Amino acid sequence: MAASAGITMVLERFRDGILVPEFGIRIPWRITESELYQYIPHEAFTFSIAGWPLLNCTILGISGSWGFNFVTHPHAKLVEVAIQNLDRRTIQKTFARASKVLIDLLGSPNSVNLPSSNQRWSDDWGFVANSVHIGYFALLRRRRKSHSVKVFFRAAMLNSRPVAGEP
């Protein structure tokens, strides 16, 4: 139980949003995509083939092109940031590098700990996941192995109704 309480304290820093050190700001959860551009200029982003805004930045000590997920929430609010590697030649390498960075930052995973393929740090608000998996990519029309790191704000999904003051 003490380990779980420790994880909750470490994960608490993500409850209010995602720190983007290159811009010196914290992006709050449950904002709309247009609100995102009030924090970081639209010109700083590229876009995935699925339409996710992508930003080259460092999140959780991991640098690369992070995607901002507004698609999963029924009212198009930010609920996840994720980075993905589809290069099968480097998937295990990027998983191992991310694993070291995340364990140094968050401690041992408290939810899932399969050291070669799946790690999850979780509490009531959400989770941080580092995983290698095979999934179906609709836009590619095929199954594909990938490595991803994601921060998901599960609490936003528990009550998908707008919060007071939100449209």
The model's pLDDT over 59-72, given as tens digits with 9 standing for 90+, comes to 999 999 999 999 88
pLDDT value for 1: 38
Look at residue 14 and tell me whether its pLDDT is greater than 90: no
pLDDT value for 7: 59
Cα separation, 111 vs 129, whole angstroms: 10
Q: Which of 81, 163, 67 is nearest to 126 (CA)?
A: 81
Mean pLDDT score, 21-38: 96
Cα separation, 1 vs 35, whole angstroms: 38
Look at residue 114 and tell me whether its pLDDT is greater than 80: yes
pLDDT value for 2: 42
pLDDT digits (tens, 9 = 90+) for 143-153: 889 999 999 99
Q: How many CB atoms lie within 10 A of CB 89?
A: 7
- SS3 at position 166: coil
- SS3 at position 57: strand
- For the chain, the first-to-last Cα distance in angstroms comes to 39
pLDDT value for 164: 46
Q: Where are the domains of the chain?
A: 2-157
- Is pLDDT larger for residue 140 or for residue 143? 143
Note the pTM of the prediction, 2 decimals.
Answer: 0.86
